[in-house]
Amino acid sequence: MSRLLPHVALLAILIGCALCQYEDYESYYGPSHMLGPSGPNCAPECDCPVNFPSAMYCDGRRLKSIPPIPPGIKYLYLQNNQIHEIKSGAFVNATDLRWLVLDHNRITTNAVEEGAFEKLVSLEKLFFSYNDLTEPVSPLAKTLNELKMIGNKLSKLPLGSLSGLANLTSIHLQENELTSEGISGAFKGLSSLVYLDVSQNRLGLLPAGVPSSLEMLYADHNEISSVPKDYLQQLPALQYLRVSHNKLADSGVPAGVFNVSSLIELDLSFNNLQTIPEVHENLENLYLQVNQISKFDIESFCKVVGPLNYSRLRHLRLDGNNLTRSSVPLEAANCLRQATELTVGATD
């Protein structure tokens, strides 16, 4: 059991992030002014609290370039500045760096000089959101476990840009310009990946070639119109799937495609579905609001109803469809005996 604890803790953290899907880095650290005076080796533009000597706070200083980094710094906060380039020697003394936060700057891919990240051999977290990247920076340290590039101008992830990152567990790519072709094969070999968010992009399909270790996949607000029949069969660990605000229709959803035992939560809201897709009895949360569903088919949840045969659904939302309370058959009470929320109609 003890071997499972680190994995369970990681899953709990990632589920927390999922509940506030666009959580930023601010929960990771405290204000520098609460940590006491700055140490003597710190860059004058920043704070290196003597009570937290491994951190350097340079956030919100109107910086246009990365200041000198003294040896021994493990946590570097450079968010909310005006940095527009990263020189090749910017991190020459930062071989101990674990976390690097570069969110909300003006950095472009072309302004990151070759070799700029090669000294960051111990990097674990790279937060590079809300800049002007058109491609991810590479190569990255093999120790990296979390990568955030939200709100850039990424249209593709070139093959090999994430290769060798066997420790990477979490990737956040929402609010970019990614296409299905542009990310094809990009996640191959990421054997530890459990969380992938590609929401608010231009995907026509769910990402192909994702590793079988994946447990959470978020692809809301894209242009996805179909799901390959065997897609989820290749993801035996997948528990949370969100494909809301897309273009899914019955013709693009093969029979039984979502009927997999691993899924705990499935969000298909704000699509063009006309029928309730068949789901596995293990599913606990199903969101289908604002589709075009006109029939409550009990067989979508229960093929057979009995003492041991029933749906484990707890939350089922069907509001915003062509259904009313009278659309729900009486036998649904026995099939959905564990449901605590069943929302049907506009005002339920």
CATH code, 276: 3.80.10.10
Mean of pLDDT values over 5-22: 45
Q: Please tell me the predicted confidence (pLDDT) of residue 33.
A: 54
Mean of pLDDT values over 4-21: 45
Does some domain include residue 340? yes
CA distances to 141, 157, 174, 215, 228 from 234, in Å: 28, 22, 23, 12, 11
Does some domain include residue 271? yes
Q: Please tell me the predicted confidence (pLDDT) of residue 347.
A: 42
Does some domain include residue 80? no
Does some domain include residue 199? no
Mean of pLDDT values over 332-344: 94
- The total domain count for the chain is 1
Cis preceding linkage at 139, omega within 30: yes
Mean of pLDDT values over 159-175: 95
Q: Please tell me the predicted confidence (pLDDT) of residue 1.
A: 42
- Residue 57: pLDDT band (50, 70, 90) is very high
For residues 95 and 121, the answer to whether their CB atoms sit within 8 Å is yes
Q: Please tell me the predicted confidence (pLDDT) of residue 37.
A: 59
* Statement: residue 98 has pLDDT above 80: yes
Nearest-Å Rg of the Cα atoms of the chain is 23
Q: Could you list the residue range(s) of the whole structural domain that residue 345 is in? A: 225-348
Mean of pLDDT values over 121-128: 98
Mean of pLDDT values over 140-148: 97
Does some domain include residue 325? yes
Compute the distance between CA of residue 325 and CA of residue 312 in angstroms, rounded to an integer.
Answer: 21
Mean of pLDDT values over 28-34: 52
Strand partners, 265: 240, 285
Does some domain include residue 24? no
Helix ranges restricted to H, 222-331: none
Percent of the chain clearing pLDDT 90 (strictly above): 82
Does some domain include residue 320? yes
Q: Please tell me the predicted confidence (pLDDT) of residue 316.
A: 98
Predicted TM-score of the model (pTM):
0.89
User: Of 11-25, 106-120, 223-237, where does mean pLDDT reach its minimum?
Assistant: 11-25
CA distances to 194, 285, 314, 328, 333 from 311, in Å: 26, 11, 9, 15, 10
Q: Please tell me the predicted confidence (pLDDT) of residue 304.
A: 87
Mean of pLDDT values over 149-175: 96
Mean of pLDDT values over 220-227: 98
Mean of pLDDT values over 136-142: 93
> What's the whole-number average pLDDT of the chain?
90
Q: Please tell me the predicted confidence (pLDDT) of residue 2.
A: 41
Q: Please tell me the predicted confidence (pLDDT) of residue 309.
A: 86
**Both tokens of residue 41?**
């080796």
Q: Please tell me the predicted confidence (pLDDT) of residue 313.
A: 97
- DSSP per-residue string spanning 80-107: SS----B-TTTTTT-TT--EEE--SS--
